[in-house]
Amino acid sequence: MLPGQIGLPTLYQRNFLFDWQYTVNYNLTQSLRFNFNAANNRIINNYLTPVENADGTVDYNVDNSIGVWDGFFNVGDPNQHVQSLQLNYDLPTAKFPFLKWIRATYSYQGDYQWQDGSDQFNNIVALNQFGEPQTDENGEIISYNLGNSIQNASTHRINSTLDMNTFYRYVGLTKLKPNSRRSRLRGGSGTGGEGEEGNGKSGRGGKAGEENSKGSLSTNQNDPRGGRGSGNQGGGGGSLSGGQKAANFFIGLATSIKKIQINYQENNGTYLPGFTPSIGFAGTLKPTTGFVFGSQEEIRDLAARKGWLTLYPEFNEQYTEVESRQLDAQVNMELLPDLKIDFNGSRAYSENYAENYIVEDGLYRSLTPNTFGNFNISTVLIKTAFGQSDENGSAAFDDFRGNRLVVANRLAQEFYGSDTFPVDEEGYPVGFGKNSQQVLLPAFLSAYKGSDASSEKTGIFRDIPLPNWDVKYTGLMRLDWFKKNFKRFSIQHGYRASYTVNQFQTNLDFNRADPTELDQAGNFKSPTFLNNVNLTEQFSPLVRLDFEMQNSIKILAELRKDRALSLSFANNLLTEIKEDEIVLGLGYRIKDLRIGTNFGGKKRILKSDLNFKLDVSRRDNKTIIRYLDIQNNQTTAGQTIYGIQFTADYALTKNLTALFYYDHTFSEYAISTAFPQTTIRSGITLRYNFGN
């Protein structure tokens, strides 16, 4: 080091790492598959000897005689251990004829991780009020080990498919078909003449008359025209009777569900800090065998009794639990030929639990437990989708206001156990005022779902998802007029709606020992606190017509309608966002257009399709804030957007395409503080595809 320069402390790093991992795969049976893998990271101690100087500083003596191969079999101290167990099981439904229509797979994954704690806090000395080390009754200095951390996770997953066509065939629920034997017998007589000659070359006509007679038909076997009569009845290749056609219609309705898919996934996890035991070379079974393989059984009290948790009184790392459940279901239905309906439903729940803790006399004591999470479920709001709702007022919002008293009375009857209870000056039961969270939520859901407020569930969560749907119909192409004029013609409709709780959390101000405590507004405190809840609805699309005529003209007409409702419990405001959009599209293709070129002095004829596409759209969206306590609706945002998009493309080569585009957008804002805006984009694009 040169004079006048600031020196840096000498850094010694002689870490030796010992990492190893292994994997075990084994098929226990043809349907049950097992997989286990583990990874271990260990650190071999530095070969440094600390020496304390007279001034209190610490130096290290380095033993340079130690080589890489010295202490080769020393595996060191554990730093991290991770392992995972996976099981996959195909349910043996194919082994049973009555269950072949079910295909289901169950999988389980259990994870475990042990993490070494910081060496800096391995040994914390307890100090008294004077800043001096505390001693126990034997005069020994009291110190605390902050321990390590362990965590696990488990995942349960079920994927199932129900092939309903296979089920219908198994139970014999299939459409009636013409009797093939009778059709052959009747069909032969149609080629013969009368009497014996009319029986055909093999005389089947007479036999047909006899068969019909035995079958209680009206044909007289002594009638010389019996053969011809049979032939007339059997004409048309054995068509069904009116009764059989009616039976087939009802069988078609009963067998309209073609496929059902149900998927369920559950994730759980636990994190426990302050865990003092170390880990072995191959792992550990502490705190329990189940915990190491993903079990979520309670282990806090056991770990405290065994002395496996830190005793440091100011330990502030939190014990946490996570939980999530996801359910998705889909049903494919064909009510009529070319009419396909897909029903979809989903439910998602996630929850996080966290708490501080302290261990006293071998007992685990929880401090400030807190739960928070999210919730989403599919629902149906179509009853109020087309109701009057603008800046002047809303029919559903008026129902929301009126539902509050109905819900409050229901809650009061349940709470007080009687139809007689005290009321405030506005007529609401004491404890369940008009702005109580417990009153507002069911009143809000009932109003916008269009349900009866006297029967709407009063809790936060809903158990059964209501189905949304997608509909597509192409059956018009079966008609002669459509076949003559169109290459394709389809009608589509889609609907999505959901109920979402953005965040629910434990109300730390709620006194479980005295649930009758009132808040500042005079309402009973709710054990769970909500920030806001949302209802969303989308007609995607409300209706869509997509067809192509025989002259290659393509026409698309689409109408969309969306709305989003957000109820805030902080200020009792409802924010409503509405959007309506209409799109008209026109397309045309000039087939095999020839264009002569003379690039580089070489004449060449290009031959490709010239495609034109024109889209005209109008989108109108508006944001309205509605006040529960006063008659006031305010439009805070919104605009009407008009758009014209035109494109024309032509393939110059197999990989090179030239495209001309023109995009014109004009917007008018719904509030006076924003000004109209026009955007125009136009140009030519050359697109080259480097693929085959």
User: What are the b/e assignments for 222-236, b being 16+ CB within 10 Å?
Assistant: eeebbbbbbbebbee
Strand extents, DSSP E, 569-689: 573-597, 604-627, 633-651, 656-669, 677-688
Tell me the Ramachandran region of residue 393: left when phi exceeds 0, alpha when psi lies from -120 to 50, beta otherwise: left
Which amino acid is present at 557? A
Which amino acid is present at 412? A
Distances (CA, A) of 619 to 258, 559, 575, 642, 676: 37, 10, 20, 7, 14
DSSP 95-116: GSGGGTTEEEEEEEEEEEEEEP
Residue 225 has pLDDT above 90, yes or no: no
Average pLDDT over residues 158-171: 94
Residue 603 has pLDDT above 50, yes or no: yes
Is 24:37 a contact under the CB 8 Å cutoff? yes
Nearest to 323 by CA among 265, 264, 269, 377: 269
Residue 370 is predicted with a pLDDT of 94
Token output for 196: 């014996």
The number of beta carbons lying within 10 Å of the beta carbon of residue 637 is 15
Residue 270: pLDDT band (50, 70, 90) is very high
Q: What is the DSSP letter of 313?
A: T
Q: What is the DSSP letter of 600?
A: G
- 347 contacts: CB under 8 Å, gap ≥ 6: 325, 326, 327, 376, 377, 378, 462, 463, 465
* Biggest distance spanned by C-alpha atoms of the chain: 136
Number of helices (H), then strands (E), in the chain: 11, 25
Is the full-model pTM beyond 0.85? no
Is 277:284 a contact under the CB 8 Å cutoff? yes
Distances (CA, A) of 589 to 54, 470, 552: 93, 30, 6
User: Lowest mean pLDDT: which of 125-139, 264-278, 489-503, 663-677?
Assistant: 125-139
Nearest to 397 by CA among 456, 457, 443, 442: 443
Residue 4 is predicted with a pLDDT of 62
DSSP 14-33: --EEEEEEEEEEEESSSSEE
Residue 259 has pLDDT above 90, yes or no: yes
Q: What is the pLDDT of residues 6-24, one digit of tens each?
A: 666 666 666 778 888 999 9
Nearest to 345 by CA among 378, 381, 376: 378
Token output for 364: 């685990």
Supply φ then ψ for residue 432, to 5 degrees. Answer: -130, 70
Tell me how far apart the alpha carbons of residues 319 and 412 are, in angstroms, rounded to a whole number.
Answer: 37
Q: What is the pLDDT of residues 324-380, one digit of tens each?
A: 999 999 999 998 889 999 999 999 999 999 999 999 999 999 999 999 999 999 999
Nearest to 640 by CA among 616, 668, 680, 617: 668
Residue 654 is predicted with a pLDDT of 85
For the chain, the average pLDDT equals 86
The number of beta carbons lying within 10 Å of the beta carbon of residue 379 is 24
Q: What is the pLDDT of residues 612-631, one digit of tens each?
A: 999 999 999 999 999 998 88
Residue 210 has pLDDT above 80, yes or no: no
Residue 50 is predicted with a pLDDT of 73
Is 502:534 a contact under the CB 8 Å cutoff? yes
Residue 5 is predicted with a pLDDT of 64
Supply φ then ψ for residue 2, to 5 degrees. Answer: -75, 150
Residue 220 has pLDDT above 60, yes or no: no
Is 151:270 a contact under the CB 8 Å cutoff? yes
Is 82:38 a contact under the CB 8 Å cutoff? yes
Residue 213: pLDDT band (50, 70, 90) is very low
Which amino acid is present at 346? S
Nearest to 552 by CA among 597, 581, 586: 586
Residue 183 is predicted with a pLDDT of 43
Tell me how far apart the alpha carbons of residues 440 and 499 are, in angstroms, rounded to a whole number.
Answer: 15
Beta pairing class for 677-688 and 656-669: antiparallel
Supply φ then ψ for residue 438, to 5 degrees. Answer: -65, -20
Nearest to 584 by CA among 639, 546, 550, 549: 546
Peptide bond into 277 cis (omega under 30): no
Average pLDDT over residues 69-77: 78
Give the percent of the chain with pLDDT over 90. Answer: 62
Residue 681 has pLDDT above 80, yes or no: yes
DSSP 332-389: EEEEETTEEEEEEEEEEEEEEEEEEEEEETTEEEEEEEEEEEEEEEE---GGGTTS-E
User: Lowest mean pLDDT: which of 391-400, 486-495, 548-557, 666-675?
Assistant: 666-675
